[in-house]
Amino acid sequence: MKYARFIAGGRMLKGHLHEGKLVDAAGVAHDPAAVQFRLPVDPPKVIALALNYNDHAGELGLTQPSEPALFWKPNTTLLPHGGTVIYPRGAEFMHYEVELGVIIGRDARRVKAKDAMDYVGGYTIGNDLVVRDYVTNTFRPPMRGKGWDTFGPLGPYYVTADEVADPHNLTLTAHVNGELRQQGSTRDMIFSIPELIEHISRFMTLQQDDVILTGTPKGISHVRPGDVMTLEVEGLGVLQNDIQEEDEGAEPIKGKESKEGEWDGR
C-alpha cells in the first residue's frame, strides 16, 4: 500500500493511493495534484550513507569504505514533496542525490542481518542535497555540506514493505528540468539493507519511523535556483521539488578546498 499525509480543505489527512486518487479515512478521494503533501513520516532521526555505490565513489575520485560511512541528516533538513529547496547564497556547487529511503517499522537493537528485513516497515524516496563547497576534510562527517535547512526532501509516499518485492533491484533516476541527470540501480549498493541495519543497530537503537538513506549512484551535477528536481525510485512514486535562492540578506557561504591526498568526506 502507498500511504501519504497531506492537507486538503484546510485539514491534515492521511490516505492511501487507489486508482490514482488519495482516499482518506472517510473514504473521500482526493486528486494528488490538488493536495499539499506533508512528510510521509515524522522520523525520530534520519541516518544517511556516503559512498554506498562504487560508481559514485569513482566519480568523486574516492575508494569505497571498509564499513558503512554514516552521517546525520538533521530533521530541520526535511521537506515534503512539492516543497521548495533553498539554495544557499554564494554556493558554487550544489547537487541532488536520489536515494532509496528505508523506513524502520519497529524498534531494532542488535539485529542480525538475517532478521533485519523483518524490521523494515516500508520505503520512500530521499533527496540528499549537498553544497559540495563544504564537503572537505575539515568538515567530516559532512554535516555542513549536507545539513542545510530544506536539504532532505522525502516522499511522497510511505510504501509498505510488502509492496516492494526486491528493494535491492530498483531503478533510481533523477531529472532536472526534464533532463535525465542520474540513473542507477539499488542492486549496485555496496552495503545491503540487512547489512546496514545490523551495523547501525549494533551501537544505536533504530526507532520506529527512523529513515535510513542508502546512498546514491553516479550522476551528480550542479543545480541552480529556478531548477526543478524530479526524482524517482521504481515503484515508489515521484519526488519533485523546486529550488529558490536564499534571501539577499543572507551571508554568502565560503567553502574550503581539501588538501591533496586527504579524504575529503564526500
DSSP-assigned states of every residue in 34-64: GSEE--S---S-EEEEES-BHHHHHHTT-PP
pLDDT at 142 over 90: no
- Sheet of 228-233: strand order equals 84-87, 237-245, 228-233, 171-176, 179-185
Q: How confident is the model at residue 263 (pLDDT cuts 50, 70, 90)?
A: very low
* CATH number attached to the domain at 39-245: 3.90.850.10
pLDDT at 106 over 80: yes
- Rounded Cα–Cα distance for residues 113 and 37 (Å): 34
* Closest of 48, 100, 102 to residue 71, by C-alpha: 48
Give pLDDT tens digits for 120-140.
999 999 999 999 887 766 445
Question: Does the fold of domain 39-245 match that of domain 1-37?
Answer: no
Contact 93, 132 (CB under 8 A): yes
Read off the C-alpha cell for 110: 542488535
pLDDT of 59: 77
Read off the C-alpha cell for 89: 547564497
DSSP-assigned states of every residue in 220-265: --B--TT-EEEEEETTTEEEEEEEEEPPTTSPPP---PPPTTS---
Instruction: Out of 37-51, 53-67, 191-205, pick the least confident.
Output: 53-67
Give pLDDT tens digits for 225-238.
999 999 999 999 99
pLDDT of 233: 98
Domain ranges in the chain are 1-37, 39-245
- Rounded Cα–Cα distance for residues 173 and 184 (Å): 7
pLDDT at 158 over 60: yes
Q: Does domain 1-37 have CATH number 2.60.320.10?
A: no
pLDDT of 262: 34
Q: How confident is the model at residue 205 (pLDDT cuts 50, 70, 90)?
A: very high
Contact 246, 88 (CB under 8 A): yes
- Rounded Cα–Cα distance for residues 67 and 104 (Å): 21
Instruction: Out of 59-63, 83-87, 98-102, pick the least confident.
Output: 59-63
